[in-house]
């Protein structure tokens, strides 16, 4: 029984201590007369819960706080050093903190500089002035090819694995990231160090409010190695608040100014990427934070919403040259039912990519966005003006590695979002980020960033309508290293779709789309990258299922794109502007049937260029281009269309010591894939040119082969009727250019009709001539029949030389043709217009005879349908007379009796195939009436007493006149004031 009683007493004693802790002791620190003159000593002598008041003095200490105390400074006591807080329930209040403590890093990387370092919970850091904290410069590399170290991070307050802290009313200024180290010979410069007013990693549920954060500067990137120069490093990022793997934090009423990213390392063509500064930097693992609009960046509010609903954002002007977050000026994540209307948004630039270590590619530049939505729905984005949005630049490649791809820029960016209504926005001046420089030796420049008006990825059921999208630019590719190739330029697109379906796109007006320029080759012997193209709407192969109607315009031309449609007539369109409305063609049918496509004029389409190859790699193939594109479509009637000037995409430049430059993309007047039972007849197809092969990289295998120029292309397509088409002037794609130590490539092929992958079709009565290579190219092991086509040859041997089949490659099928000349009913057509020689009258002909004879000689391959005289004899410029005799290679006479006057006239000649030529306007001046003249002085019978006689007269005429006078049969003298029709 006694043992039980003792146990009870012990338990009660413990319980008593927890309920009634000892009273806190107050300790003082000052220069004299206090408990101690050293803050650290006061902490060592304190117990949990004690209060330490620092009354005066300046303290040069790195202070470790390893017991739960309150440190109060009589404002503002200076600490030259910083605080390292490793226990819970600490208060640090009222200090001037400068220089900070050092957190040592490994290798060449610079050490961190930190004002207050917290690795614990439930602390209160308030009313401190933290300034002049610098991450240490990193070490230079001295091992060939090795990248310099990364500059140290400078942080005012650093929370690591910390929660439930209150960080409030602090002033944090002059925080600097360290400079990146120089690369060794052939090495890339290290990146500049990050700088941040408050930095959180792996920290949750903290309150960060009412802090004033300014003059935060990322460190400068390091220089590339000298001698064999590598590119410089990327400048260090700057952030007012930086969140890494940190959630549930409340960030309110903070004020940020002068948040400036670090400058690039290196100079000239060897420079790295400059970096940006952001008010609040939010890593992808840190979206779940409360960051409200009371946070201000240079007077501009931060608009960031996570898991919010039903908010209106309207009538804002967000055009300061600041990036409030790293995601965009207005950001919605996991949010719904917002209204974003009538805002002006401008001047946002995405984060640049970091440079690569040795054997590591430079990092991709990040997106630059005006309005950013992730996992969001049911939002209305309308009547906003968005401009001057830039993607981040790619980082420099490590030794012999490629530069990073430039970042995407977009006015509106949807990621995994649905039911968003985007309408009536004015979008302009959107520019992708520049590709990063290649690493020394052999690295190719990075691909230029894509510039896009509206970008959708993994997004469905959105409505994009009535937007005005203009001046959209892909960026320049990165510069190659010493021997490396330049990167390809970035795509410019009004709307870009990837992994996105069931969106409705209508009534958008899109213009001034420009792909980026190819990057320069390395300063030694590198080859330049290829230039890129702009597209009205770029449709990735996983995004065909979208409603894109003909109310969308690109430079005034309709976008004609149909998915899963039937029974529509497409006719009488003139689609000749020099642009590519989509990346697939000027008229596109996918999974569609029963269409009639007739009497359209299509011209000037160019395919997407291929990307540059990396070191030791070939360039990538240019993309195909076509006037009319059919995929998995059947039962369509394509007739009486004129298709011309279609160009395949340029192949990509090969890398240094790589394979061939990329093959040029094929160009097709009409393209059929997996399409059956279509009727293709009476179309005129000409001037179809394969894409140029990619340029050879330095010491590569050589330039790329040109693409194939094709009138009609059939792939896995059968049962189609191809008749009475006039296909001419299909041209081989030009050979890729040579590079240093590498030869030029080979020309491509050309064919009027090209078949591959099991295509069996009826091919008859087509005019196939003046092609630079073949009439029919049977690139499959299937025999085909092509009867009674005109091959511009009159013997079997000559025709055979124009056909590519089994007899050129025994793995292919045979083309069985019945020559055109065996059918007497066959009519030969031509696409060459007649030529006109005007024999009389000459241009600007002045004549006094009222009868004018017009004498013209017509030369033509075909019979002449008509020759017409156009004139304004009746006051209206129109056809005056037509001769339809049908004769060719003879002279035509038109005789006209006219009144006095000045007339315009010209001649038009058309052959029976509908080819017409018209001369430039000429002028005739007819004047059959003599001028009138009255002598005004001297009068008749006058006596003149002087030696000089002045004669004056008035005159008038239909035409200008020349006036002369003489006395007593003397010589004629010009009178002043002549050369007019009256005077």
Is residue 947 pLDDT above 70, yes or no? Answer: no
Q: What pLDDT, on a 0 to 100 scale, did the predictor assign at position 7?
A: 28
Q: What pLDDT, on a 0 to 100 scale, did the predictor assign at position 422?
A: 99
Contacts of 541 (CB under 8 A, 6+ apart): none
Is residue 5 pLDDT above 70, yes or no? Answer: no
Contacts of 84 (CB under 8 A, 6+ apart): 62, 63, 64, 65, 101, 117
pLDDT digits (tens, 9 = 90+) for 953-967: 776 665 666 667 676
CA angle 544, 548, 549 (to 5 degrees): 145
Report the relative pairing of strands 91-99 and 101-103 from DSSP bridges: unpaired
Q: What pLDDT, on a 0 to 100 scale, did the predictor assign at position 931?
A: 76
| Rounded-to-integer distance, Cα 259 and Cα 323, Å | 9
- Two structure tokens written together for 211: 């802090």
Is residue 16 pLDDT above 60, yes or no? Answer: no
Q: What pLDDT, on a 0 to 100 scale, did the predictor assign at position 66?
A: 97
201-210, 252-261, 717-726, 931-940 — which is least confidently predicted?
931-940
Please tell me the pTM assigned to this model: 0.83
Q: What pLDDT, on a 0 to 100 scale, did the predictor assign at position 620?
A: 97
Average pLDDT over residues 265-287: 92
Delimiting residues of CATH 2.60.40.10 domain(s) in the chain:
835-926
- Binned at pLDDT 50, 70 and 90, residue 661 comes out as very high
Q: What pLDDT, on a 0 to 100 scale, did the predictor assign at position 13?
A: 34
Is residue 655 pLDDT above 70, yes or no? Answer: yes
Query: CA Rg, the chain, in Å?
Result: 40
Is residue 204 pLDDT above 70, yes or no? Answer: yes
- Binned at pLDDT 50, 70 and 90, residue 830 comes out as low
Is residue 20 pLDDT above 90, yes or no? Answer: no
| Higher pLDDT among residues 859 and 276, named by residue | 276
Is residue 981 pLDDT above 70, yes or no? Answer: no
Q: What pLDDT, on a 0 to 100 scale, did the predictor assign at position 701?
A: 95
- Two structure tokens written together for 669: 């007047």
- Domain covering 835-926 in this structure, CATH number: 2.60.40.10
Q: What pLDDT, on a 0 to 100 scale, did the predictor assign at position 968?
A: 64
Is residue 226 pLDDT above 90, yes or no? Answer: no
Average pLDDT over residues 154-175: 98
| Higher pLDDT among residues 769 and 761, named by residue | 761
| Rounded-to-integer distance, Cα 208 and Cα 254, Å | 8
Q: What pLDDT, on a 0 to 100 scale, did the predictor assign at position 1?
A: 31
| Higher pLDDT among residues 395 and 834, named by residue | 395
- Binned at pLDDT 50, 70 and 90, residue 160 comes out as very high
Q: How many residues does the chain have?
A: 983
40-54, 63-77, 601-615, 858-872 — which is least confidently predicted?
858-872
Q: What pLDDT, on a 0 to 100 scale, did the predictor assign at position 12?
A: 34
Instruction: Find out whether the peptide bond into 139 is cis, omega within 30 degrees of 0.
Output: no
Average pLDDT, the chain: 91
Q: What pLDDT, on a 0 to 100 scale, did the predictor assign at position 594?
A: 98
Q: What pLDDT, on a 0 to 100 scale, did the predictor assign at position 632?
A: 98
Contacts of 184 (CB under 8 A, 6+ apart): 140, 141, 142, 143, 144, 145, 146, 148, 225
Alpha helices by DSSP H, listed for 801-887, are none
Is residue 941 pLDDT above 70, yes or no? Answer: no
HSE at residue 262, side-chain half, CA atoms within 13 A, is 38
The Cα-based distances of 918 to 317, 602, 909 in angstroms read 55, 21, 7
| Rounded-to-integer distance, Cα 804 and Cα 812, Å | 9
- Binned at pLDDT 50, 70 and 90, residue 822 comes out as low
Is residue 14 pLDDT above 50, yes or no? Answer: no
Q: What pLDDT, on a 0 to 100 scale, did the predictor assign at position 983?
A: 58
| Rounded-to-integer distance, Cα 730 and Cα 749, Å | 9
Q: What pLDDT, on a 0 to 100 scale, did the predictor assign at position 19?
A: 38
Q: What pLDDT, on a 0 to 100 scale, did the predictor assign at position 18?
A: 36
Is residue 93 pLDDT above 50, yes or no? Answer: yes
pLDDT digits (tens, 9 = 90+) for 465-524: 999 999 999 999 999 988 999 999 999 999 999 999 999 999 999 999 999 999 999 887
Percent of the chain with pLDDT over 70: 92
Average pLDDT over residues 175-190: 90
| Rounded-to-integer distance, Cα 585 and Cα 608, Å | 11
pLDDT digits (tens, 9 = 90+) for 859-868: 876 778 888 8
What residues are paired with 422 via a beta bridge? 381, 464
Is residue 388 pLDDT above 90, yes or no? Answer: yes
Average pLDDT over residues 333-359: 96
| Higher pLDDT among residues 952 and 564, named by residue | 564
- Two structure tokens written together for 432: 């992708």
Is residue 890 pLDDT above 80, yes or no? Answer: no
């Amino acid at each position: 029984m006694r043992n039980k009683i003792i146990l009870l007493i012990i338990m009660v004693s413990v319980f008593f201590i927890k309920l009634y802790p000892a009273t806190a002791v107050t300790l003082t620190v000052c220069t004299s007369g206090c408990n101690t003159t050293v803050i650290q000593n006061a902490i060592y002598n304190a117990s949990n819960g004690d209060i330490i008041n620092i009354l005066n003095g300046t303290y040069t200490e790195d202070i470790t706080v390893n017991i739960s105390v309150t440190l109060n400074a009589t404002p503002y006591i200076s600490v030259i050093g910083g605080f390292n807080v490793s226990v819970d329930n600490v208060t640090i209040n009222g200090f001037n903190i400068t220089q900070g403590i050092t957190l040592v890093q490994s290798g060449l990387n610079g050490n961190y500089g930190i004002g207050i370092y917290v690795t614990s919970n439930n602390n209160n850091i308030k009313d401190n002035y933290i300034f002049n904290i610098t991450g240490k410069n990193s070490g230079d590399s001295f091992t060939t090819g090795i990248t310099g170290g990364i500059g140290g991070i400078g942080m005012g307050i650093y929370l690591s694995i910390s929660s439930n802290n209150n960080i409030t009313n602090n002033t944090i200024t002059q925080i600097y990231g360290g400079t990146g180290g120089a690369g060794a010979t052939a090495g890339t410069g290290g990146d500049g160090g990050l700088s941040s007013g408050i930095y959180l990693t792996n920290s949750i549920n903290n309150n960060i409010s009412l802090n004033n954060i300014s003059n935060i500067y990322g460190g400068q990137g390091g220089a590339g190695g000298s001698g064999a120069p590598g590119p410089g490093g990327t400048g260090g990022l700057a952030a007012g608040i930086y969140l890494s793997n940190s959630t549930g934090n409340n960030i309110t009423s903070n004020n940020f100014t002068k948040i400036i990213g670090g400058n690039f390392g290196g100079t000239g063509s060897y420079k790295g990427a400059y970096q940006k500064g952001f008010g609040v930097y939010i890593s992808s693992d840190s979206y779940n934070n409360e960051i409200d609009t009371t946070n201000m960046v240079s007077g501009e509010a931060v608009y960031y919403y996570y898991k919010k609903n039903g908010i209106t954002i309207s009538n804002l002007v967000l055009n300061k040259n600041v990036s409030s977050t790293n995601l965009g000026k207005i950001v919605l994540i996991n949010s719904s039912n917002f209204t974003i209307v009538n805002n002006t948004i401008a001047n946002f630039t995405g984060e640049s990519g970091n440079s690569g270590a040795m054997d590591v590619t430079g990092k991709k530049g990040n997106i630059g966005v005006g309005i950013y939505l992730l996992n969001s729905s049911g939002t209305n984005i309308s009547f906003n003006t968005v401009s001057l949005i830039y993607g981040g630049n790619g980082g420099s490649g490590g030794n012999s590695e490629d530069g990073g791809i430039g970042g995407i820029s977009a006015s509106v960016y949807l990621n995994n979002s649905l039911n968003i209504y985007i309408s009536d926005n004015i979008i302009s001046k959107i520019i992708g980020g520049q590709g990063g420089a290649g690493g020394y030796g052999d690295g190719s420049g990075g691909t230029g960033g894509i510039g896009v008006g509206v970008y959708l990825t993994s997004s469905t059921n959105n409505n994009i309508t009535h937007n005005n999208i203009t001046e959209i630019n892909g960026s320049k590719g990165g510069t190659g290293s010493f021997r490396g190739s330049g990167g390809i330029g970035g795509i410019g697109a009004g709307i870009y779709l990837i992994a996105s379906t069931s969106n409705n796109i209508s009534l958008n007006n899109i213009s001034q789309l420009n792909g980026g320029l190819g990057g320069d080759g390395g300063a030694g012997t590198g080859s330049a990258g290829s230039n890129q193209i702009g597209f009205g709407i770029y449709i990735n192969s996983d995004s065909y299922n979208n409603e894109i109607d003909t109310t969308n315009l690109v430079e005034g031309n309709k976008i004609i794109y149909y998915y899963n449609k039937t029974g529509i007539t497409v006719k009488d369109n003139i689609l000749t502007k020099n642009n590519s409305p989509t990346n697939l063609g000027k008229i596109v049918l996918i999974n569609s049937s029963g269409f009639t496509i007739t009497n359209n004029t299509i011209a000037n389409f160019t395919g997407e260029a291929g990307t540059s190859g990396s070191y030791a790699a070939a360039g990538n193939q240019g993309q195909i281009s076509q006037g009319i594109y059919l995929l998995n479509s059947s039962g369509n009637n394509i007739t009486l269309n004129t298709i011309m000037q279609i160009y395949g995409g340029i192949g990509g430049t090969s890398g240094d010591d790589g394979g061939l430059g990329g093959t040029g993309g094929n160009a097709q007047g009409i393209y059929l894939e997996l399409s059956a039972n279509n009727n293709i007849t009476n179309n005129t197809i000409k001037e179809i040119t394969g894409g140029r092969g990619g340029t050879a990289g330095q010491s590569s295998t050589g330039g790329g082969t040109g693409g194939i120029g094709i009138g009609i292309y059939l792939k896995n397509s059968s049962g189609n009727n191809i008749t009475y088409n006039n296909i001419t002037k299909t041209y081989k794609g030009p050979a890729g250019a040579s590079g240093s130590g590498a030869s030029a490539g080979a020309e491509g092929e050309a064919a009027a009709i090209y078949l591959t992958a099991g295509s069996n079709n009826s091919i008859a009565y087509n005019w196939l001539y003046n092609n630079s290579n073949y009439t029919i190219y049977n690139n499959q092991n299937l025999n085909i029949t092509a009867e009674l086509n005109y091959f511009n040859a009159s013997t079997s041997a000559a025709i055979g030389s124009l056909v590519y089949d089994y007899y050129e490659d025994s793995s292919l099928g045979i083309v069985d043709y019945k020559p055109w000349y065996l059918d007497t009913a066959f009519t030969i057509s031509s696409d060459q217009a007649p030529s006109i020689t005007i024999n009389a009258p000459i241009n600007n002909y002045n004549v006094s005879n009222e009868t004018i004879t017009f004498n013209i000689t017509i030369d033509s391959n075909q019979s002449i349908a008509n020759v017409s005289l156009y004139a304004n004899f009746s006051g209206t410029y129109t056809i005056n007379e037509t001769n339809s005799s049908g004769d060719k290679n003879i002279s035509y006479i038109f005789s006209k009796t006219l009144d006095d006057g000045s007339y315009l006239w010209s001649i038009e000649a058309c052959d029976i195939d509908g080819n017409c030529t018209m001369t430039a306007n000429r002028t005739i001046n007819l004047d059959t009436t003599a001028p009138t003249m009255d002598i005004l002085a001297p009068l008749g019978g006058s006596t003149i007493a002087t030696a000089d006689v002045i004669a004056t007269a008035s005159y008038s005429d239909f035409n200008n006149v020349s006036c002369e006078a003489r006395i007593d049969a003397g010589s004629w003298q010009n009178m002043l004031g002549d050369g007019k029709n009256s005077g």
